[in-house]
Structure 1
Amino acid sequence: MEKETTNYQLILSKLESKASLKQEIYRNTIDVFAVAKKALSKIASRLHQDYHAKDPSVEVAYRDAHQFEAELKFSGDMLLLSMHSNVFNFEEGHRVFSSSYVKADPSLSYCGVIYIHNFLADSIKYNRLADEGTLIARILVNKQKRFIVEGEGQLGFLFESFSDSEISEEILTHIFELAILDCMDTDLQLPPYAAVKDITLHQKQTILAASGYPTGKRLGYQFKAEAQQNNNL
């Protein structure tokens, strides 16, 4: 009986130290994501206003898809912003655990996650389910709304340690602008001709007819060996 009481008290303790903590971080991430949507929407409005008169064919549009997702379309690119509904900790040995900030309170390493993906706009438009996107960055938010960013280019080192202050709309705008620049600096490349010159009728009638050429910025598009290999996985 004493052992059962001890276990029960341990459960109560862990609910306080982990469950309540994760709920707090989840609420923080929800708040930050709302600000992120606002920042992305403002970027879309400014780009549309400043560039539409120069070239109306270049579409810039923001869409609030649902509670955990928003999109920014700019010409042929789509920046897809999404929030994970769960809370995570870093893998053992990660550099955050060596910081004095986390050493003073280990619970500060738990984070909610906001992802920034880049897809081709046509992938979304034509529902090409085989198309590949790229994770440009992920924003990690802790119980104090302080953050780390892991990502491509400048986003891989500018915010690699927990910030000294809460994340803000100004900071999020800076992050999104860097993400947009990364998308625009990465062009869609043709694969070698020899790699895509052969195609079976089955592939033509199934893969291509269903969703068009499976395409991604860093993938190009795939035929034959690549598609066969994927089908065998």
Structure 2
Amino acid sequence: MEEENSNYNQILEKLESKASIKQEIYRNTVEVFALAKKVLSKTASRLHQDYSVKDPSVEVFYRETNQFEAELKFSGDMLMLSMHSNIFNFEPGHSIFQTSYVKADPTLSYCGVIYLHNFLADSIKYNRLADEGMLVARILVNKEKRFIVEGEGALGFLYEVFGDDVINEETLTDILERAILLCLNNDLQLPPYAQVKDVTLHQKQSIMAASGYPTGKRLGYQFKSETQQNNQ
């Protein structure tokens, strides 16, 4: 009986040290995500107002697709903002555990995650499920709303010190604007002609049934046979 009580008390302690904290982090991440959606919506409005006068054919709009996802379309690009519903910790041995900030309270390493993905707008429009996108950045938020950003370009180092600042609208505006610039600077590139000149009728019919060539921001396009050969 004493051992059973000991186990039960440990369960209660774990709920206090982990479950409640994770719920707090989840609520924080929801708040940050809501603020990020607000910033993205405001950015879309500004871009539409300032650029539609110059070229009304360039589409710029914002929409929320579900509780955990929103997207900004600008010309041929789509920046997708999404929040994971779970809470994560870093892998053992990560440098985050060597910081004085986390050493003082190990529960500070638990984070909610917000992702920024770049896809081609046509990938979404035509439901081209084989198309590849790019993870531009991810924002990690802890129980104190302290954060770090892991990402491409300047987003890989500007916000890499955990515990320095509480995330706010100004910071999110900078992160999202830099993400948009990364999308715009990442152009489609045609693969060498020799790599795509051979195609079976089945592949061609499958491609057209899927509304076009499988396409990604980094890859240009590839036939399935070429992809298989590259993976062998």
- TM-score, normalised via structure 2 length: 0.96
Alignment of 1:110-121 (within 5 A): 110-121=110-121
Cα distance in 2 for partners of 1:228, 1:161 equals 40
Secondary structure at the aligned position of 2:47 is classed as helix
Cα distance in 2 for partners of 1:196, 1:229 equals 12
User: Could you tell me which amino acid in structure 2 is paired with residue 84 of structure 1?
Assistant: H
Cα distance in 2 for partners of 1:82, 1:124 equals 15
User: Could you tell me which amino acid in structure 2 is paired with residue 178 of structure 1?
Assistant: R
User: Could you tell me which amino acid in structure 2 is paired with residue 52 of structure 1?
Assistant: S
> In structure 1, what is the equivalent of residue 129 of structure 2?
129
Cα distance in 1 for partners of 2:134, 2:228 equals 22
Cα distance in 2 for partners of 1:40, 1:224 equals 36
Contact 1:136 1:152 in 2 (8 A): yes
Cα distance in 2 for partners of 1:225, 1:83 equals 35
Contact 1:81 1:115 in 2 (8 A): yes
What per-residue deviation string (whole Å, max 9, x for no partner) do you get for residues 128-181 of structure 1? 010000000000000001100000000000001114231101100100000011
Give, in angstroms, the shift of residue 206 of structure 1.
1.9
Cα distance in 2 for partners of 1:229, 1:7 equals 54
Cα distance in 2 for partners of 1:62, 1:46 equals 11
> In structure 2, what is the equivalent of residue 158 of structure 1?
158
> In structure 1, what is the equivalent of residue 55 of structure 2?
55
Contact 1:198 1:224 in 2 (8 A): no
* Higher mean C-alpha displacement, 163-172 vs 76-85: 163-172
Identical-residue share of aligned pairs (%): 78
> In structure 1, what is the equivalent of residue 92 of structure 2?
92
For these two proteins, the number of residue pairs brought into alignment is 232
Contact 1:130 1:211 in 2 (8 A): no
Give, in angstroms, the shift of residue 111 of structure 1.
0.1
> In structure 1, what is the equivalent of residue 175 of structure 2?
175
Secondary structure at the aligned position of 2:210 is classed as helix
Q: Does 1:72 align with 2:37?
A: no
Write out the 4+ residue segments of structure 1 that deviate beyond 2 Å after TM superposition: 224-230
Contact 1:129 1:211 in 2 (8 A): no
* Higher mean C-alpha displacement, 157-166 vs 42-51: 157-166
What per-residue deviation string (whole Å, max 9, x for no partner) do you get for residues 175-218 of structure 1? 00000111111100000100000110111122332242100010
> In structure 2, what is the equivalent of residue 147 of structure 1?
147
Q: Does 1:15 align with 2:12?
A: no
Cα distance in 2 for partners of 1:101, 1:228 equals 46
What per-residue deviation string (whole Å, max 9, x for no partner) do you get for residues 209-233 of structure 1? 2242100010110115334459x99
> In structure 2, what is the equivalent of residue 27 of structure 1?
27
* Higher mean C-alpha displacement, 210-219 vs 54-63: 210-219
User: Could you tell me which amino acid in structure 2 is paired with residue 150 of structure 1?
Assistant: E
Cα distance in 2 for partners of 1:221, 1:73 equals 21
Give, in angstroms, the shift of residue 95 of structure 1.
1.3
Contact 1:196 1:224 in 2 (8 A): no
CA RMSD of aligned residues (A): 1.5
> In structure 1, what is the equivalent of residue 46 of structure 2?
46
Secondary structure at the aligned position of 1:72 is classed as strand
Query: Which structure 1 residue ranges, 5 or more long, are not aligned?
Result: none
* Higher mean C-alpha displacement, 104-113 vs 88-97: 88-97
User: Could you tell me which amino acid in structure 2 is paired with residue 215 of structure 1?
Assistant: T
* Higher mean C-alpha displacement, 155-164 vs 119-128: 155-164
